[in-house]
Chains A and B, each alone.
Chain A
Amino acid sequence: MPPRNPFTRSAQSAEVKPRKIGSSLLQGVITVIVILAIWQCIVIFFKMPSFILPSPGAVLQKLVQRADVLVFHAWVTMQEILLGLLLGLTMGLFFALQMLLFKPLKRWLLPILIASQAIPVFAIAPILMLWLGYGIASKVVMAALIIFFPVTTCCYDGLRSTPTGYLDLAQTMSASRWQTLRHIRLPAALPTLASGIRVAVVVAPIGAVVGEWVGSSAGLGYLMLQANARMMIDEMFAALFILALFSISLYFMTDQCLKRAIHWRL
């Protein structure tokens, strides 16, 4: 047998395999490092004053130094986002079911649904503050409102577009309307609903932070405003970093869970 060339395919593929497993993680790490490097370069070369753009090192220092404060406010914002998601998803599912089950109701609910999307959340935020106070409730409602439309439309579309063959089959098995909904329509709607949930998870933090900006006494949005007013830009960036980290991990966790739970396509 001739000696193996180190550049044959088998040698290459053996090398490629372990790289593939950690590739997405590695890719993420590289992206972060590159961004940090560019950031640091901008700070050095353009001689940015720290109240305009603090260096990554300064932000990291703040992250460690003010960890207790950041954790406290992050916890508040997390609660708002998660509760908002819960409320928005429940409302969306409920609305979609109502529109599906009571056809005439759809004509009445649809304008409300569209209005909920057409009025900017920013515009109703002060009113929500007024009614629900500076606490967590107004932010939860805000996050729920902002995801309400995508969730409802996805859910309704999914429920409505059950393949007719499935419904025929259920009917020949003399399934009732409720049984068909429970065992055929709902599971068949899940892949569409999952894309609604993915959108909701990305958008919900916007609602919560906007709510905190308009009026609050705690939360990462509140912390950012306070830090901004006191020219503590490094602390603002630290809060922003936590918020981004939370939103991104929430998305990836949700995405992985949904992918595992809903493995089929129609």
Chain B
Amino acid sequence: MADSVLIKIINGALRYKGEGQYVLSQVNMSIAKHQWTSVLGKSGCGKTSLLRFLAGLLDEKVDWSGSVETPLQGDLSQHVAYMAQQDLLMPWLSVMDNVCLRFRLSNKKITEPEKQQATALIEQVGLLDKIHHFPEQLSGGMRQRVALARTLMQDKPLVLMDEPFSALDAVTRYQLQNLSVTLLQNKTIVLITHDPQEALRLSSKIYLMHGQPAQCHSFPVPTMDVPRRLSGEIAQLQQQLIEQLGKNHASS
């Protein structure tokens, strides 16, 4: 079951409406259930477009050809939780209310079990003492932890991450990556990143995206369990990844 595929993209091609040039073409990907899949590429290569497409944010703006196969029922975008580079915490809501944003949006009263669940999640991300604080009173790392709790509260099988750790300092990033792996154990994650180390530490599958229109290629990853410690092997692979990304940089 662990190795079963949650999403299979076959021959995907995407272009924005009204534009001749395709952003993505011949994208083939298989995203394994309960695993982290990273998509690496330089900025502007179309990796965010792919993620936004999967999140259902581009439905009216793009032409898509190819197929997205999934065993999930109904629209894929209904099974998605989204974590962006910015924490996207609403500054007018407390930590608790931000975590419960999903319920607030649907005008539902937050029930007692939901409140308990939210409290438990906030405790798991280590912010129980900050539960009634507002986002402006928190540091960048804490804010992204609240965003993580909010994502978990959504309780969706698929979590799409768009460089959520990139604005953090090295130590905070390392800790938050570990925390995310622990807390998102039963989720399938698609992580967009431009940090080879991050991809190597977290993912069971890495896709490199390059070219114009962008294509993807799979990159071999070590077989150790995630989150991986930074070892010699990781460093070597990181070197390879950077070289390959650099080569693609030069050729495109």
Contacts and interface: CB of A to CB of B under 8 A. Distances in A.
A183 B91 contact: no
Contacts of A173: 101-102, 105, 154
A171 B56 contact: yes
Interface string B84-110: 101010111000000001101111000
B92 A190 contact: yes
A151 B136 CA distance: 27
A265 B57 contact: no
A172 B81 CA distance: 7
Nearest to B84: A165
B250 to A, nearest CB: 32
Nearest to B75: A174
B55 interface: yes
B80 A263 contact: no
B91 A172 contact: no
A118 B97 CA distance: 44
A107 B4 CA distance: 53
Contacts of A168: 52, 55, 57, 82, 84, 88
A170 to B, nearest CB: 6
A169 interface: yes
Q: Main SS of chain A's interface residues?
A: helix
Interface string B149-170: 0000010000010000000000
Contact of A165 (B77, B86, B104): B86
A187 B106 contact: no
A183 B86 contact: no
A183 B134 contact: no
Contact of A166 (B52, B88, B136, B154): B88
A257 to B, nearest CB: 16
A174 B78 contact: yes
A170 B57 CA distance: 10
A218 interface: no
A172 B92 contact: no
Contacts of A163: 86, 88
Contact of A175 (B78, B105, B160): B105
A169 B91 contact: no
B142 to A, nearest CB: 16
Contacts of B135: 264
Nearest to A263: B134
Contact of B104 (A166, A171, A183): A183
A163 B90 CA distance: 10
Contacts of B57: 168, 171-172
A179 B77 contact: no
B55 A172 contact: yes
Identify the 7 closest CB pairs spanning chains A and B, nearest first.
Answer: A264-B91, A172-B82, A175-B105, A187-B92, A165-B88, A169-B88, A173-B102
Interface of B: 52, 55-57, 77-78, 80-82, 84, 86, 88, 90-92, 101-102, 104-107, 134-136, 154, 160
9 contacts: A168-B52, A168-B55, A168-B84, A172-B55, A172-B160, A173-B105, A179-B107, A262-B92, A264-B91
